Amino acid sequence: MSLLASLALPLLRRMEPERAHALTLWALAHGVVRGETAADDSLLAVEVWGKKISNPIGLAAGFDKNAVVPNAMLRLGFGVVEVGSVTPRPQPGNPRPRLFRLPEDAAVINRLGFNNEGHDAVAARLATRARHGILGINLGANKDSVDRVADYVSGLEELGRFADYVTINVSSPNTPGLRALQSANELDELLARLDEAKQKAHLDLPLVLKIAPDLGTEDLADIARVALARGLAGLAVSNTTVGHREGLRNKFRNEVGGLSGRPLLGPSTEVLAEIYRLTRGRIPLIGVGGVANGADAYAKILAGASLVQLYTALIYQGPALIQQIKRELAARLRADGFASVAAAVGTGTRI
């Protein structure tokens, strides 16, 4: 870790979380934070959706909601960066406080509620971006929208051309009713309308569906069935959880919102493995939830993930974590005799 980063982390941790986040984004946008620029170990190279990616470690949605620093985050060593969630119209999100650190639990609870600048502002920013690396754009729906499916369709139309893949986020716990879109009928209708919009706009773009970790076995089976039938390109498992508060120590443990970080690792990896089984390994999966080191990333891959994402651990460990995870992951793959990430995907899960 650079000296600056090691000095900045404790200071940032003493600031109110949203102010610390705003300052972090400002520092990234102004080149104050720089990472090591070592080339990735060739063992970490993956190919997903026909795209060659030098490593499978990605930045999860929510860190860069307005696509201010995707290139800075790619330069820090992420193989993939996902920006958003972006909604059609700008919206302020829920009243503050709405973001809580739980350091004893290596966790965060948030009920931000899709605070973001909206499609137009993000499109204007991305139109001037120098394209490199793999960029995912995560789409959300406005809180007061009367047709939420139309919000995702407009996201595809407005922002799709800037993306290497688009994530349809139907799993945020902080927009009332949103998660109902994960049910079989609504999901089928959503994916059908997105497909139509893609064809109309001549967009050849992989669509990823991001799901909650709080779904029952039947819901997961429905999602897998619809995803296979509709030829979905990917599933991201998972968003934050509304459960799993037992055993947490920090005073904020019962705040309303989505829990991320260490307590989510086990539950989200279990759902990931279940989805891998249910889709019989036919759909590339993004494993996200509680990844804080190379062993966690490796566990996601063994459970069935072709790509891994993280956010919360970055808050506690800073940008040096990215290189550390890649080093540890490569060492584990080598130690177990895997010649590539792809060779390890799903080997811990019986199909």
Ligand X SMILES: Cc1cc2nc3c(=O)[nH]c(=O)nc-3n(C[C@H](O)[C@H](O)[C@H](O)COP(=O)(O)O)c2cc1C
Nearer to ligand X, 177 or 337 (CB): 177
Residue 23 tokens read as 């300052």
Nearer to ligand X, 289 or 294 (CB): 289
Nearer to ligand X, 49 or 311 (CB): 311
Site pattern 217..256 for ligand X (x: CB under 6 A): ----------------------xx----------------
Question: Any contact of residue 169 with ligand X (CB under 6 A)?
Answer: yes
Tell me the closest approach of the beta carbon of residue 114 to ligand X, in angstroms.
Answer: 6
Question: Any contact of residue 91 with ligand X (CB under 6 A)?
Answer: no
Question: Any contact of residue 317 with ligand X (CB under 6 A)?
Answer: no
- Between β-strands 57-59 and 305-310, what pairing exists: parallel, antiparallel or unpaired? parallel
Site for ligand X in 37-56 (CB under 6 A): none
CA distances from 285 to 27, 129, 164, 185, 221 (A): 32, 27, 16, 22, 15
Nearer to ligand X, 44 or 314 (CB): 314
Nearer to ligand X, 80 or 291 (CB): 291
The terminus-to-terminus CA distance of the chain in angstroms comes to 40
Answer for which of 46, 99, 135, 178 binds ligand X (CB under 6 A) is 99
Of 171, 14, 121, 288, the C-alpha closest to 297 is: 288
Answer for which of 98, 101, 179, 210 binds ligand X (CB under 6 A) is 210
Determine contact, residues 208/230, Cβ cutoff 8 Å: no
- Tally Cβ neighbours within 10 Å of residue 66: 17
Residue 262 tokens read as 């260490």
Question: Any contact of residue 311 with ligand X (CB under 6 A)?
Answer: yes
Site for ligand X in 172-201 (CB under 6 A): 172
Q: Which positions ≥6 away from 10 have C-beta within 8 Å? A: none
What is the per-residue DSSP string for 108-143?
EEE-----B-HHHHHHHHHHTPPP-SEEEEEE---T
Spatial separation of the C-alpha atoms in residues 264 and 273, rounded to whole Å: 14
Tell me the closest approach of the beta carbon of residue 16 to ligand X, in angstroms.
Answer: 13
Question: Any contact of residue 78 with ligand X (CB under 6 A)?
Answer: no
Residue from 172, 238, 260, 268 carrying the catalytic annotation: 172
Q: Which positions ≥6 away from 231 have C-beta within 8 Å? A: none
Answer for which of 108, 134, 163, 344 binds ligand X (CB under 6 A) is 108
Tell me the closest approach of the beta carbon of residue 141 to ligand X, in angstroms.
Answer: 11
Residue least distant from ligand X (Cβ): 62
Spatial separation of the C-alpha atoms in residues 183 and 129, rounded to whole Å: 36
Question: Any contact of residue 257 with ligand X (CB under 6 A)?
Answer: no
- The question of whether 2 is a catalytic residue gets the answer no
Tell me the closest approach of the beta carbon of residue 200 to ligand X, in angstroms.
Answer: 25
Answer for which of 56, 58, 62, 318 binds ligand X (CB under 6 A) is 62
CA distances from 168 to 7, 152, 173, 336 (A): 37, 7, 14, 35
Determine contact, residues 233/209, Cβ cutoff 8 Å: no
Question: Any contact of residue 135 with ligand X (CB under 6 A)?
Answer: no
Question: Any contact of residue 61 with ligand X (CB under 6 A)?
Answer: yes
- Catalytic center residues: 172
**Which spans of this chain sit near ligand X (rule: CB under 6 A)?**
60-62, 65, 84-85, 99, 108, 110, 112, 138, 169, 172, 210, 239-240, 260-261, 264, 288-291, 310-313
